[in-house]
A and B are shown apart, each in its own frame.
Chain A
Amino acid sequence: METIHSIRPLLAILASLFAIPLIVGFSRRPAMREFWTFAAAGSKFLIIVSMLPLVLTGRRVTCTIFEIIPGVPLQLTVDTLGLLFALVSSSLWILTSIYSVGYMRGLGEHSQTRYFCFFAVALSATIGVAFSANLLTLYIFYEILSLATYPLVTHHQDEEARSSGRRYLAYILGSSIGLFLPAMLISYHLAGTLTFSASGFLGASISRKVLMILLIMFVFGAAKAAVMPLHAWLPAAMVAPTPVSALLHAVAVVKVGVFVIIRIITGVFGVNLLKSLSLTTPVIVLACITILCGSLIALSQDNLKRLLAYSTISQLSYIVLGVSLLSQRGLTGAFIHIPMHAFGKITLFFCAGAIFVATGKKNISEMKGLGRQMPITMAAFFIASLSIIGLPPCGGFLSKWNLVLGSIEAHRPLVLVVLLVSSLLNAGYFMPVVYKAFFFKTESAVAGVKEAPLCCLIPLCLTAIFSIIFLFYPQPFYELISHALKCIIGAGV
């Protein structure tokens, strides 16, 4: 494979960091401050898009910054998989920025400058994870992301934010330092390198027991993927302002978690090694448990954002499950679920936030009849929930379709059952929300309510529309994924 040396991946990471001094400098002039956020988001997106043609023609863009530990440089490589993830998160950052402006101003939130700064840092770190060429670089960006999100999660600075912040740090930093770091060091000790390769760098010479332990340590170490039992930070993180929950806890942070697991399975161990030793069975079991339990807990939630959090926990495990099936269809389903779930879930969070801005309500029981007051928001909510359930005419159907085929391909009928049951459960917790909104009598508390400001409304309409478009026009994603699969599966066969 041809490799091109370019500083574009580095620029993509730095784009949002450069904006920080400007955001701070214009803290007294909100309009200018937000302009710089958009400038950063737009330029980041454009830089990432500019690498698309190179990567699609089968080349790889690399940028080596320097050797940080013998044999392990601080290195960025853009491959199809990383690019897919980077595209999703950077494009959604633009929409989230628009939404943030509407939401934060609509509620008159404090410390907006700090908010926009740390958002920019978080996005830099996310793109850094997407483009990391080795485990150490990935770990560095992973930790930066953990810490940059902390002030966002605890934005309200009250007692609730404080305890949620503690839980967040305990889970995220505790797992990454306690499990991920030693696993990485042991891998380095065994293999002498940490650079991802399509066939994995942990050779077959290592005993099965050690490999199994390492895999489990890595999967739990990436607690951002919220595989049970290390999921409790995600519902706690819902105290954050809604745009944070939307972009970070439905797209960037949690997807970084699953992306790490994808990289571990495809780049560290290698699909063929895992397949030949059938190491992923415990991961599949864990993912299935998480899918079912997450959905079951979501059924009992009244707070809309907490419901969405549990739904996210269960949906993330779809991706973990798809990768650990190790079959071509399973991997396709997992990869395509990244954009599909991102667009669907961010719409749902946007809707929850819009409802909060317009009515101040957080609980589903108080949203009866809201569909008549806020028809656009609730329609978007309906579309996005169809996508998450996996029904046409929405993009989520594609990922579920591929995952189901993947489970058949991998000869795991139980997984198939889990996926179908989960779809029913998803419908079970989303449809009552929609039903109550449209078919119940309007409660007096929300009688005079109008739609949220335009800045909130436009992004959520766009993401909902994209969720539909992706079903009919998934070619760009498929093209990227087929390239990625060629590397992952083609390498060792």
Chain B
Amino acid sequence: MTGNYPALLVTVPLLAAFVIYGCSWLHKRSCLFMALLGLTIPFAISVALLKKVLINGHISYHLGGWDPPWGIAYELDPINAIVLVAVTTVALVNLIATSKEIETRFSDRRGAFYALYLLFVVGLLGIVATGDLFNLYVLLEIASITGYSLIAMGDPARAPLSSLNYVFMGTIGACFYLLGVGYIYIMTGSLNMADVHALLPPLYHSSAIVVAFIFCLVGVMIKMGFFPLHSWLPNAYTYVPSPAASLIAPLMTKVMAYVMIRLMISVFSPKFVFSSIAASNAVVWLACLAIVMGALMALAQRDVRRMLTYIIVSEIGYIVGGAWIGNATAMSGAVLHIINDVLMTFCVFLSLGAIARSTKGYQIENFSGLFKKIPVTMATFVVSGLSIIGIPPTCGFFSKWYLILGAIEGGHYGFIVVLLLSSLINIILFFRIFEEAFFVYPKTNAVHTEGEASIAIAETPFVTLIPLVLTAILLIFTGIYSGSLIALIIKPVVSAGLL
């Protein structure tokens, strides 16, 4: 049983998705329970796998007993094990926290929603765990198509169009990736990552391999919304229904960023990426541009959700820049930032979803007086905001620390300046909202008296509030324990591949 964990990780939610959809015809009430079950089991498995990987090291699981390079293998190292844990945690916690909203909002379509939700998670888990290039493409399409559908379930006026836009861009991205994989297959005759990694070195100077790498990279970059290929992202993430927003926004882009790092380290090699094609400087400068443009465009938004989507564009720039600086410190920072950014984006979107209960919209003006009305929910929003700014001891500070340190080691001063600048802009972005929520009072509350009962506290229900508070606390704990995260999980993998 324990030996089959990697397979069960993906198959349990996959089966659950179909069972739920069937079940929604018979007994609607049980859907939520089964969805919870279908995510709790992978969560437990991913934790067990992480533990196992940390004790025994690398796990290679051959699906159906077919040995690679013919069969599909799942490869687990500490980094993707922790990314798996992050994915399952976010999916499970988000489901619990938003269950109430899902049940009321999609009462007649809840079977479809839960099924898509679980399939999306299946796709992501597979992408992270797989050791096969083509299998990755298949799972990428599962995650993308379910993602498009979830987005299309949002606001009927705007969501379908933005989903369609995402479909176009996403398909182009997937095509690029598939073309790249095709080239690799033609040149090496293999699709297994480890096998390709071993076969490639003599072919590094072949222009077909360079093109293959660039195609794969472009495909992945479209999917992760790397500036200037991000145009699908803001609309898609703005109009997605909020229970899906806090699932898709933190996970999809970050998982794709992980795929990029995986391609750079385990399929190709750092030697190829940083020496054979001397593009690292150019990509880091592009990342700088992504960070600055993301921050500036976020500054131009009055809609908080839209602002956050541009912040994601900027954060993706952090990860890409860190990965391409090309030393172990910056790469560790990039990997740490993937995990941290999953958590903080999740926290910020989840709290925004909870806040939206008490506001009429997502405009900054709608936030006025919220610190009085929903103090605890706002506190979690503040914590996630501070983490995105990079204030210690929240986790965002520590990934920024390694990224800047790596940039100093690599002598990439432009990246340092841009990172600091983006922190400063983030201060403005978030304090604009905090100010609105703190200072602007409805007229009735002008009297300065002890007690002030004029704004009644109308806190978020506990089923949402408790996961939210726990996530906010987790942001601080991940920050404080980032040292062990780096030492135990990230450093061994990164330094084996780099320098």
Q: Footprint of B on A, CB under 8 Å?
A: 28, 30, 66-70, 74, 108-112, 136, 139-140, 143-144, 147, 151, 154, 157-159, 161-162, 165-166, 169, 173-174, 177-178, 181-182, 185-186, 188-189
Residues on A with beta carbons closer than 8 Å to the beta carbon of B405:
185, 188-189
Q: B401 within 8 Å of A by Cβ?
A: yes
Q: A189 vs B404: C-alpha distance in the bound complex, in angstroms?
A: 10
Q: B274 within 8 Å of A by Cβ?
A: no
Given A110-B449, A112-B450, A185-B401, also A157-B424 (CB < 8 A): no
Other-chain contact of B420, A28, A112, A143, A178 (Cβ < 8 Å) = A178
Q: B452 within 8 Å of A by Cβ?
A: yes
Given A69-B401, A182-B420, also A165-B386 (CB < 8 A): no
Other-chain contact of A108, B423, B438, B439, B449 (Cβ < 8 Å) = B449
Residues on B with beta carbons closer than 8 Å to the beta carbon of A111:
452
The residue on B at minimum CB distance from A161 is B439
Q: B391 within 8 Å of A by Cβ?
A: yes
The residue on B at minimum CB distance from A112 is B450
Q: B297 within 8 Å of A by Cβ?
A: no
Interface size class of B (residues with CB under 8 A): 20 to 34
Closest CB in chain A relative to B117 CB, distance in Å: 36
25 contacts between A and B (CB under 8 A): A28-B451, A30-B450, A66-B480, A66-B481, A66-B483, A66-B484, A68-B482, A69-B398, A74-B480, A108-B450, A110-B452, A139-B392, A140-B393, A147-B386, A157-B439, A157-B441, A161-B439, A162-B435, A165-B435, A166-B431, A174-B427, A177-B424, A177-B427, A181-B404, A182-B404
Given A67-B483, A68-B480, A157-B439, also A177-B408 (CB < 8 A): no
Residues on B with beta carbons closer than 8 Å to the beta carbon of A108:
448-450
Closest CB in chain A relative to B355 CB, distance in Å: 19
Closest CB in chain B relative to A176 CB, distance in Å: 9
B391 touching A147, Cβ below 8 Å:
yes
Q: Other CB < 8 Å A-B pairs besides A70-B483, A74-B480, 8 of them?
A: A66-B483, A154-B438, A162-B435, A165-B435, A174-B427, A177-B427, A185-B408, A189-B405
Residues on A with beta carbons closer than 8 Å to the beta carbon of B398:
68-69
B439 touching A154, Cβ below 8 Å:
yes
Residues on B with beta carbons closer than 8 Å to the beta carbon of A69:
398, 401, 482-483, 486
CB-contacts of B384-403 with A (<8 A): 386, 390-393, 398, 401
Q: A69 vs B333: C-alpha distance in the bound complex, in angstroms?
A: 12
Q: B416 within 8 Å of A by Cβ?
A: yes
Q: A185 vs B401: C-alpha distance in the bound complex, in angstroms?
A: 8
Closest CB in chain B relative to A357 CB, distance in Å: 15
Q: A66 vs B486: C-alpha distance in the bound complex, in angstroms?
A: 14
Residues on A with beta carbons closer than 8 Å to the beta carbon of B439:
154, 157-159, 161-162
Residues on B with beta carbons closer than 8 Å to the beta carbon of A66:
480-481, 483-484
B391 touching A143, Cβ below 8 Å:
yes
Q: B487 within 8 Å of A by Cβ?
A: yes
B393 touching A177, Cβ below 8 Å:
no
Q: A67 vs B487: C-alpha distance in the bound complex, in angstroms?
A: 10
Q: A415 vs B145: C-alpha distance in the bound complex, in angstroms?
A: 73
Residues on B with beta carbons closer than 8 Å to the beta carbon of A28:
451
- Indicate with 1 or 0, residue by residue over B372-394, a CB within 8 angstroms of chain A CB atoms: 00000000000000100011110
Q: B409 within 8 Å of A by Cβ?
A: yes
B487 touching A177, Cβ below 8 Å:
no
Given A67-B483, A177-B423, also A143-B392 (CB < 8 A): yes
B483 touching A178, Cβ below 8 Å:
no
Closest CB in chain A relative to B294 CB, distance in Å: 18
A157 touching B450, Cβ below 8 Å:
no
Q: A161 vs B441: C-alpha distance in the bound complex, in angstroms?
A: 14
The residue on B at minimum CB distance from A170 is B427
Residues on B with beta carbons closer than 8 Å to the beta carbon of A189:
405, 408-409
The residue on B at minimum CB distance from A65 is B480
The residue on B at minimum CB distance from A110 is B448
Q: A225 vs B401: C-alpha distance in the bound complex, in angstroms?
A: 24
Q: A110 vs B451: C-alpha distance in the bound complex, in angstroms?
A: 8
Closest CB in chain B relative to A125 CB, distance in Å: 11
CB-contacts of B456-499 with A (<8 A): 480-484, 486-487
Residues on A with beta carbons closer than 8 Å to the beta carbon of B441:
157
CB-contacts of B405-447 with A (<8 A): 405, 408-409, 416, 420, 423-424, 427, 431, 435, 438-439, 441
Closest CB in chain A relative to B426 CB, distance in Å: 10
Given A66-B483, A70-B483, also A157-B438 (CB < 8 A): yes
The residue on B at minimum CB distance from A105 is B450
B448 touching A109, Cβ below 8 Å:
yes
Q: A112 vs B451: C-alpha distance in the bound complex, in angstroms?
A: 9
The residue on A at minimum CB distance from B372 is A111
Q: A136 vs B483: C-alpha distance in the bound complex, in angstroms?
A: 13
Closest CB in chain B relative to A378 CB, distance in Å: 28
The residue on B at minimum CB distance from A141 is B392
Q: A161 vs B486: C-alpha distance in the bound complex, in angstroms?
A: 42
Q: A178 vs B426: C-alpha distance in the bound complex, in angstroms?
A: 13
Residues on B with beta carbons closer than 8 Å to the beta carbon of A136:
392
Closest CB in chain A relative to B487 CB, distance in Å: 7
Q: A185 vs B405: C-alpha distance in the bound complex, in angstroms?
A: 6
Q: A377 vs B439: C-alpha distance in the bound complex, in angstroms?
A: 34
Closest CB in chain B relative to A256 CB, distance in Å: 15
Q: A159 vs B439: C-alpha distance in the bound complex, in angstroms?
A: 8
Q: A154 vs B438: C-alpha distance in the bound complex, in angstroms?
A: 9
A169 touching B401, Cβ below 8 Å:
no
Give the top 6 A-B pairs by smallest Cβ distance, nearest first. Answer: A140-B392, A110-B448, A68-B483, A189-B408, A67-B483, A162-B439
Q: A59 vs B420: C-alpha distance in the bound complex, in angstroms?
A: 40
CB-contacts of B114-143 with A (<8 A): none
Residues on B with beta carbons closer than 8 Å to the beta carbon of A147:
386, 391
Other-chain contact of B486, A70, A109, A154, A174 (Cβ < 8 Å) = A70
Q: A60 vs B483: C-alpha distance in the bound complex, in angstroms?
A: 26
The residue on B at minimum CB distance from A72 is B483
B438 touching A185, Cβ below 8 Å:
no
Closest CB in chain A relative to B231 CB, distance in Å: 30
> Which of A66, A112, A158, A189 has the most C-beta atoms of chain B within 10 angstroms of its own C-beta?
A189
Residues on A with beta carbons closer than 8 Å to the beta carbon of B484:
66-67
Q: A108 vs B450: C-alpha distance in the bound complex, in angstroms?
A: 7
Residues on B with beta carbons closer than 8 Å to the beta carbon of A144:
392-393
Q: A158 vs B435: C-alpha distance in the bound complex, in angstroms?
A: 11
Q: A86 vs B270: C-alpha distance in the bound complex, in angstroms?
A: 50
Q: A293 vs B391: C-alpha distance in the bound complex, in angstroms?
A: 33
Q: A189 vs B391: C-alpha distance in the bound complex, in angstroms?
A: 20
Closest CB in chain B relative to A441 CB, distance in Å: 34
Residues on B with beta carbons closer than 8 Å to the beta carbon of A166:
431, 435
Closest CB in chain A relative to B479 CB, distance in Å: 9
The residue on B at minimum CB distance from A104 is B450
Residues on A with beta carbons closer than 8 Å to the beta carbon of B408:
185-186, 189
A177 touching B390, Cβ below 8 Å:
yes
Residues on A with beta carbons closer than 8 Å to the beta carbon of B450:
30, 108, 110, 112
Q: A177 vs B441: C-alpha distance in the bound complex, in angstroms?
A: 31
Q: A28 vs B453: C-alpha distance in the bound complex, in angstroms?
A: 12
Q: A162 vs B481: C-alpha distance in the bound complex, in angstroms?
A: 35
Residues on A with beta carbons closer than 8 Å to the beta carbon of B481:
66
Closest CB in chain A relative to B399 CB, distance in Å: 11
Q: A66 vs B393: C-alpha distance in the bound complex, in angstroms?
A: 13
Residues on A with beta carbons closer than 8 Å to the beta carbon of B448:
108-110
Q: A140 vs B398: C-alpha distance in the bound complex, in angstroms?
A: 11
B487 touching A70, Cβ below 8 Å:
yes
Q: A439 vs B499: C-alpha distance in the bound complex, in angstroms?
A: 78
